[in-house]
Structure 1
C-alpha cells in the first residue's frame, strides 16, 4: 500500500479535486446525535467508538475500517444514515485511539479481530437480527470469520476490497512481501520509516490528479494522531499479516458453512487487491458482486453515496428489517 522509496508528500500538497462528501444526502433530522467514547469489550481491549442513535431506528449498521484508517473514515456516511438507522463504528486495536496491547497479549490476527468484533456486538447490546455489517480491507475477513463462529451475528454482511484467500498474485507487491519472512521484516521497517508518505499517498496511489478526492481534515488529523504508540498502526498491520495466510486458509476451507447472507463490493481500479479476488469469492459462493466503475481501494471514501445506497438496499424496501 506504499512504495518503499518515495519522497514523503505532506497532506497539504496532495491534489484533491473531487469532493467525496458533496453527493451525500444530508440526514433528514438533527435528532440523532453522535456519541464518541470508549468501551471495554474484554480485559485487554478498550475500543474507541462512535454511535448515532435516532429515536426510531429501522435497523443497526456497524462499519469496520481498513488500513491505515480509523472510525472517522465512516463519519460522513454515518451522518447520512443516522436519521434512519442506529450506526456504529470503532477503531480496531492498534488504530486510532483503541487499545494497543503487546503482541504477546493480543496477536492482531484476523481471527482475534473477529473475537473483538463479537465482543463489541455483545457488549453494545446490538440486536443481531437487525444488524448489517459493512467491512472493508482488513476489517472484512474478521467479519466473515466471526460469522463462521456465530451464524446469527448479523442479518447481512457487506464486504469489499479485501483478501479472503491466499492469492498473492492479486495483491500489491508490498502486501505480498508482508505475508512471509524475511521480506515481511523489511516491509515492516519501511512502513514505520515512511509514515508520512503512507498517510499522504495511500488513498490516492495510482490515480491521476483529476480523480483524487477530498479527505476531511478531521479524518486526516485523526489517522495521523492514531498512528503512533507502543504498537504503531504499521506494527498492528504487520502482525495481522503474519497470521494472514493461516486465517485465509482456514476461511477458504470453511466458507461453505457460512449462514449469514454476504454481498461483495469492489472498486474496479483497486490496485492493492485486484477485483479478481472479489470475482473468485463471489463465483465460488454464489453471492452478489457489485464492481464500482472507476473507483479504487477505498470506495467508501471516494464515492460515499454508493456505500449509503448499499446499506439502505441491504435493509430492503423501506429500510425496515421488521418488515421482512
Structure 2
C-alpha cells in the first residue's frame, strides 16, 4: 500500500486502544447540526440565521418566526428536518440578534419584511423550485406579499395563525389596539414594561393548564436577552411598527389575493386566542384552499405540537 494512503487511512494504536476512522454508517447516524451565523442583506440589515445542512438534500425548508420569537423557536424542528433537507431560519429585523435600524432607515412593515425575505432567499442561493416556506404570525403575510409579485418564490408556502386581512374582530384585544393611535402607543409602552409577564405567558394563553408545554430553555433565554438591550429597538417596538403599517399591507393583499399563484397550505391552531380560526377560514375561501385546524393547539403550533409541524412540512414534498 502507498505509504501516504496508509498514513491517512490506517488504524492507529492510542493508549493501547485501536482507533479507526468513522464508518459511513456511523457518519450517517450522526445527528444534523444547527449552525448559527450572520448574513448581510444590505447596508442596513444583517440577519442572524440558523442553518442545518444535509449532504444530499431532498429539498429546502425556510422557517419564519413570529412575535416574540427568534430562530431558536425552530431549532429542534430544524435538526429533525435536517435529516432529509437543507433547513434555514433567520431572525426578522428587530428580533433576536438581527439588525435593529431606526425607522427612518427601515419601517418594519410587512412589505419591508417581504423585501428582506426575497433578499435572503437570493443571498442564500435557495432553490425556489424545491423550497417550502413555513411561516406563522408576523412571518406569514410577508411571505404571501412576496408571492404576489414572485409566484415562483417557493414550491409551497405553509401559513397559519396570522392576520392576512383587516378584521379586528378576529383579533385579540391588545392586537386590535395596536392598529391605531392613540391606543397603539399605550399598548407598546405596556408591553415593553411587562416583558417578563409576556414571555412567561404569551405561549400558553387560551390553553387549559393541562395543555401547557415545555419551552426550551435556550429559546427562552435567547428571546429574553433580545428584549433586554437598552437603547435599541426592542421586539415590541418592531412589532408595533409592523402594526403601524399592517392595515395598509393587509388591504393590499386582500385586493390582490386573486393573483396568488404560489401553492399555499393553511394550518391553524384550534385554540388560538390571538387570531381566531375565522381568519383562516376566510383566507381558505378566498384562496380556494383547505383549512386544516389542529385540535387543542394554540397560536404556536411549532412549539406546542412540533411533530405536526414537521409532518406538514414533509407532506409538502410528497
Q: CA deviation at 1:205?
A: 1.5
Q: CA deviation at 1:164?
A: 0.1
CA deviation vs aligned residue, 1:4-50 (integer Å, no higher than 9, x gap): xxxxxxxxxxxxxxxxxxxxxxxx74263322100001111000001
Q: Do the aligned residues in 2 keep the contact of 1:269 with 1:295 (CA within 8 Å)? A: yes
* Bigger relative contact order (CA 8 A; separation at least 6): 1
Structure-2-length-normalised TM-score: 0.89
Whole-Å Cα distance in 2 between the matches of residues 62 and 104 of structure 1? 28
Whole-Å Cα distance in 1 between the matches of residues 160 and 303 of structure 2? 13
CA deviation vs aligned residue, 1:161-196 (integer Å, no higher than 9, x gap): 000000000000000000000110110110111111
- Gaps in structure 1 of 5+ consecutive residues: 1-27, 317-324
Q: Do the aligned residues in 1 keep the contact of 2:151 with 2:261 (CA within 8 Å)? A: yes
Which of 273, 276, 279 is the matching residue for 1:277? 279
Which of 295, 298, 302 is the matching residue for 1:296? 298
Q: CA deviation at 1:253?
A: 0.3
CA deviation vs aligned residue, 1:32-78 (integer Å, no higher than 9, x gap): 33221000011110000011111100000000000000011011111
Counterpart of 2:310?
Answer: 308
Whole-Å Cα distance in 2 between the matches of residues 207 and 55 of structure 1? 40
Q: Do the aligned residues in 2 keep the contact of 1:179 with 1:245 (CA within 8 Å)? A: yes
Q: Do the aligned residues in 2 keep the contact of 1:61 with 1:85 (CA within 8 Å)? A: yes
Q: CA deviation at 1:274?
A: 0.2
- Gaps in structure 2 of 5+ consecutive residues: 1-27
Counterpart of 2:5?
Answer: none
Q: Do the aligned residues in 2 keep the contact of 1:269 with 1:297 (CA within 8 Å)? A: yes
RMSD: 0.9
Whole-Å Cα distance in 2 between the matches of residues 190 and 249 of structure 1? 28
Counterpart of 1:109?
Answer: 109
Whole-Å Cα distance in 2 between the matches of residues 234 and 246 of structure 1? 20
Q: Do the aligned residues in 2 keep the contact of 1:31 with 1:54 (CA within 8 Å)? A: no
Verify: 1:222 aligned to 2:242, yes or no. Answer: no
Q: Do the aligned residues in 2 keep the contact of 1:129 with 1:154 (CA within 8 Å)? A: yes
Q: Do the aligned residues in 1 keep the contact of 2:34 with 2:78 (CA within 8 Å)? A: no
Q: Show the 5 A alignment for 1:1-324.
A: 29-30=29-30, 32-229=32-229, 230-316=232-318
Whole-Å Cα distance in 2 between the matches of residues 312 and 37 of structure 1? 25
Q: Do the aligned residues in 2 keep the contact of 1:29 with 1:83 (CA within 8 Å)? A: no
Q: Do the aligned residues in 1 keep the contact of 2:49 with 2:89 (CA within 8 Å)? A: yes
Equivalent position SS for 2:286:
helix
Larger radius of gyration: 2
Whole-Å Cα distance in 1 between the matches of residues 182 and 29 of structure 2? 54
Q: Do the aligned residues in 2 keep the contact of 1:32 with 1:55 (CA within 8 Å)? A: no
Equivalent position SS for 1:165:
coil
Counterpart of 1:8?
Answer: none
> Structure 1 29/54 Cα, relative in aligned 2: closer, same or farther at 3 Å?
farther
Whole-Å Cα distance in 2 between the matches of residues 89 and 300 of structure 1? 13
Equivalent position SS for 2:262:
coil
Whole-Å Cα distance in 2 between the matches of residues 61 and 255 of structure 1? 24
Q: CA deviation at 1:228?
A: 3.5
Whole-Å Cα distance in 2 between the matches of residues 100 and 279 of structure 1? 34
Q: CA deviation at 1:284?
A: 1.6
Q: Which shifted more, 173-182 or 226-235?
A: 226-235
